[in-house]
Amino acid sequence: MFILTKFSDLVQISPEDFSKHSIVAIEDNINAKYANKVVQKIGLCISLYDVLWTSEGLIGHGTGLVNVNVEFRMIVFRPFKGEVMLGRIRSSTPSGIHLRTDFFDDIFIPYEELPQGAEYNHSEQIWIWNFDEERLFYDNHEMVRFQVIDEEWHDQTPAGPTQAEDTPAKTPYKIKGSMAAEGLGVCLWWDGA
């Protein structure tokens, strides 16, 4: 579910941070820039793991910023294809079920990836799995197990004047999952004997 990614970047320490130890200032700088943000084709950055190398601090012309080149490793959320994970049901629509984890909201299970016999109940707006005469409910906020089958990336860099003003921003990183296989779906069905 989590990987380490090695980055190299320029860290600029502003004069008000000079009272901190350099390593603390660098750490804070990197975390402020990366934590809780998606890097395209890499994943959702969580936190700095360790600093591998730093250059000397250099002060350029014009500003009092100290420039340091740093090589470091980040903890990144990037589940691999086929990985089984836990998540919670956020909402259900006829097209499928939206899941979330506490820190990541964009997980979608399309209706084709639900087990055979699943149907959508329009009045209650939930999916129901008809299994051996039994009706099993995909209730909201229920903990489910799902398998990652695909991922979608949308670069959010502005496209310039050609971009229409009101186009809604697409989520930068979206996971597509499946709950069709045995053992997947609401945890209580399988664990609670």
Partner 1 sequence: MWQLNKSLVCLVSYSKGKSLNPRHCTIRSLTATVTHLLDFFALYLASLCRRDKTSYTTTTTMKVVEAQAAVLSNYEVLQHLTQQKDRYKQRKRRGPPNLETVVRELIQYLQSYPNPLSQKPSTYTPGCISQLLERLSPYELSKGEVVMILNLRPASVAALNTVIEEMSERFSDEQQEEMVNIILEVLGQFEAAQPDANGNADEAAES
Strands 126-131 and 134-138, by their bridges, are antiparallel
Regarding 2 and contact with partner 1 (CB under 8 A), the answer is yes
Residue pointed to by tokens 């190398």: 53
What 3 state SS string does the chain have?
A: CEEEEEEEEEEEECHHHCCCCHHHHHHHHHHHHHCCEEECCCEEEEEEEEEEEECCCEECCCCCCEEEEEEEEEEEECCCCCCEEEEEEEEEECCEEEEECCCCCCEEEEHHHCCCCEEEECCCCEEEEEECCEEEEECCCCEEEEEEEEEEECCCCCCCCCCCCCCCCCCCEEEEEECCCCCCEEHHHHHCC
The structure tokens listed for 162 are: 């050609």
Give min distance, CB of 94 to partner 1, in A.
25
The single residue among 22, 101, 140, 171 that binds partner 1, judged by CB under 8 A, is 101
The single residue among 143, 152, 154, 159 that binds partner 1, judged by CB under 8 A, is 143
Regarding 128 and contact with partner 1 (CB under 8 A), the answer is no
Q: What are phi and psi of 83, to 5 degrees?
A: -70, 140
The single residue among 17, 28, 149, 151 that binds partner 1, judged by CB under 8 A, is 28
Regarding 102 and contact with partner 1 (CB under 8 A), the answer is yes
User: What is the size of the binding site for partner 1 (CB under 8 A)?
Assistant: 54
Applying CB under 8 A, the span of 107-115, 117-125, 141-149, 164-172 interacting with partner 1 comes to 141-149
Give min distance, CB of 30 to partner 1, in A.
9
Regarding 188 and contact with partner 1 (CB under 8 A), the answer is yes
Regarding 10 and contact with partner 1 (CB under 8 A), the answer is yes
The single residue among 16, 19, 32, 94 that binds partner 1, judged by CB under 8 A, is 32
For partner 1, the binding residues (CB under 8 A) are: 1-10, 12, 24, 28, 31-32, 35-37, 39, 41-42, 46-47, 49, 58, 60, 67, 69, 71, 73, 75, 78, 80, 82-86, 101-103, 142-143, 145, 147, 181-184, 187-188, 190-192
